[in-house]
Structure 1
Amino acid sequence: MMGKPRPSRVWDAMLRGNERFVFGDPEHPRQDVERRETIASGQAPLAAIFGCADSRLAAEIIFDLGLGDAFVVRNAGQVISDSVLGSLEYAVGVLEVPLILVLGHDECGAVRAAIDSQAEDATPLPPHIAHLISPIVPAVHTVAGVPADQPVDPATVDALEVGREHLRHTVAELLESSEMISAAVADGSLAIVGANYRLQEGRVVPDIVVGLAD
């Protein structure tokens, strides 16, 4: 990984960018014609960001990044799938990113759909949506304290806590499902951060950190 900064330095730079965004003072770096021409023949992103597809979660804007700075993978509810794993393994194995950020957020529609789907009188979801949110459902039952085969009362379930629980599950599943990624974390070349984005404040708050040494 010659030329690549340590994971901790990348994360610190991303947090500084997020601070600029929060306070309304973004620099909009590396977004000019010269940068576009420089990276046209290849990419060397500093981080991979796996986030929710929510339109309010525009990763490059949130972290005040430029063209070519982040390899971004998104789907509703940041749910692990074969395509997500393949994309992130490409980022690690080929692009040699030193950091993967798994980014959730409050007021997540996928989390809300997962909660509502477990109500006793819930209307069945379209099959593809039901399949998409199914990995979030265990977090619903964990937070609700209700067995997986029992319905929950959506009004009593804290959506923020479900989102946080799902985020932790996602990071754990990423490590369990990819030998390449877990090996890179073990040898110190890669770190994974799971964080939540606060929509109104604009701030990214770390929740789980794996392999991030000074």
Structure 2
Amino acid sequence: MSNRNITRRQCLVGACGLGGLGLGMALGVKAELSSTKSINIENAEEPYPRNANEALVRLKEGNKRFINDKPYHAHTNITWRSLLVEIQKPFATILGCSDSRVPPEFIFDTGFGELFTIRLAGNIISEDVIGSLQYAVIHLHTPLIVVLGHEGCGAVTATVEEMLDRAKEPERIESLIQLIKPGLSKLDLKQRHNALLSAAVEANVRWSIQQLSVLPERERIDIEKRAVIIGGVYDLATGRVRFLD
């Protein structure tokens, strides 16, 4: 899959919720973050993303720094944190896996207050996740949602192993597997094991996105008309995030 910017069609999907955000400020100037409060952002390196496309570019640039071992480590000091005590304005929402090797803030080289992260095994869609996504787009106005899977995902691997009749998990893990399994139903289980696991990780990301697209109308509109939703897969070996078409 190519690693290109969001398409024009995707931008139009998210445009309804972006027009009134007033995010045209550059870091280093005073920005309105709510109707009653504002914070003064000082000594910053990058412009604040005004829309989903710019948010994606920001994530890609941060991931590139991470890959090249040249992180900014910006927006972590006590002065910056003090600005976030009463308000936050993340520019993207990340639905990722709980895996300890995949912290979105490091992968995208971001600091406090820049990403709204939702993490649980297998980056699955559940009622709580849907509520968190609605909160992110309705109240925090994040214009971009990234469903982020990763190579070597334990939850996805456990699902594949069960589909191959190689393992049976305890009840609670089994319930997690049942949420992942439908998205892997079209996989060729006879392919090489490593290739199968990689294909399963990507299929699971696409499955999570698909589930958001078939929510009850009100819930779907709440999310889709306020944000662009895309998928990505993180490579543990290289540190690279491959964004999906």
Scaled to the shorter chain, the TM-score interval is 0.7 to 0.9
Is 1:160 the counterpart of 2:198 in the alignment? yes
Could you tell me how far apart the structure 1 residues matched to 2:131 and 2:153 are?
24
Normalising to structure 1: TM-score of the pair? 0.86
2:173 paired residue among 129, 135, 143 = 129
Return the offset for 1:178: 5.8
Residue in structure 2 matched with residue 212 of structure 1 by the alignment: none
Could you tell me how far apart the structure 2 residues matched to 1:71 and 1:84 are?
12
Q: Is the 8 A contact 2:134 2:222 kept in 1?
A: no
CA spacing shift, 1:181–1:26, aligned 2, 3 Å: farther
Normalising to structure 2: TM-score of the pair? 0.75
Q: Is the 8 A contact 2:134 2:223 kept in 1?
A: no
Return the offset for 1:155: 4.6
Could you tell me how far apart the structure 1 residues matched to 2:83 and 2:238 are?
34
CA spacing shift, 1:194–1:98, aligned 2, 3 Å: same
- Identify which range, 176-185 or 104-113, moves more after superposition: 176-185
Is 1:139 the counterpart of 2:183 in the alignment? yes
Return the offset for 1:43: 1.1
Q: Is the 8 A contact 1:60 1:66 kept in 2?
A: yes
Residue in structure 1 matched with residue 22 of structure 2 by the alignment: 3
Counterpart of 1:177 in 2: which secondary structure?
coil
1:54 paired residue among 95, 99, 105 = 99
Residue in structure 2 matched with residue 198 of structure 1 by the alignment: 235
Where do residues 147-186 of structure 1 align in structure 2 (5 Å cutoff)? 155=193, 158-177=196-215, 179=217, 182-183=220-221
CA deviations on 1:164-195 (whole Å, 9 max, x unpaired) are 111111101112226456436664x4111100
Residue identity in the other structure for 1:72: T
List runs of 5+ in structure 2 lacking aligned partners: 1-19, 24-49
Residue in structure 2 matched with residue 27 of structure 1 by the alignment: 72
User: What count of residue pairs does the alignment treat as equivalent?
Assistant: 200
CA deviations on 1:96-153 (whole Å, 9 max, x unpaired) are 1101010001011111100111233x443111101012122123331126xxxxxx89
Could you tell me how far apart the structure 1 residues matched to 2:108 and 2:194 are?
34
Counterpart of 2:123 in 1: which secondary structure?
coil
Residue in structure 2 matched with residue 39 of structure 1 by the alignment: 84
List runs of 5+ in structure 1 lacking aligned partners: 146-151, 209-214
